[in-house]
Each structure stands twice: as structure tokens, then as C-alpha cells.
């Protein structure tokens, strides 16, 4: 859950999914999915 929250924070700062993935050392598709879950479900999407 912590990396998802950090991904959202980086996204709000204007970073691309590629930049976020590199920073968090996760696949870009996971970043996209995590941000999508947040957008669709709010805080529950972090779980």
C-alpha cells in the first residue's frame, strides 16, 4: 500500500508513470493500475 500512496503523490507532482516506476522500482503497468484504482475507488483503491 505504501508504494501506491507514493505513486499517487508523485503523480500529483506531475511525474510520468515511467518516472514513478523508475523511482519506486516497480513495473510501469503496476503504477498505472495503482493510480487507476485510486481514481476509481479512492482510499479503498490503495488496498
User: What average pLDDT does this structure show over 8-20?
Assistant: 96
- Unique residue bearing C-alpha cell 475507488: 41
Distance CA 32, CA 16 (A): 10
39 against 46, higher pLDDT: 39
Torsions phi, psi for 17 (to 5 deg): -65, -35
- Unique residue bearing C-alpha cell 503523480: 11
> pLDDT by residue (tens digit) across 15-35?
999 999 999 999 999 999 999
Distance CA 26, CA 10 (A): 14
- Kindly tell me the number of DSSP H helices and DSSP E strands found in the chain: 3, 0
Q: What is the pTM of this model?
A: 0.83
pLDDT computed for residue 35 by the predictor: 93
Amino acid at each position: 500500500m505504501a508504494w501506491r500512496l507514493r505513486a499517487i503523490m508523485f503523480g500529483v507532482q506531475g511525474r510520468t508513470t515511467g518516472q514513478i516506476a523508475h523511482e519506486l522500482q516497480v513495473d510501469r503497468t503496476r503504477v498505472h493500475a495503482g493510480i487507476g484504482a485510486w481514481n476509481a475507488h479512492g482510499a479503498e483503491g490503495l488496498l
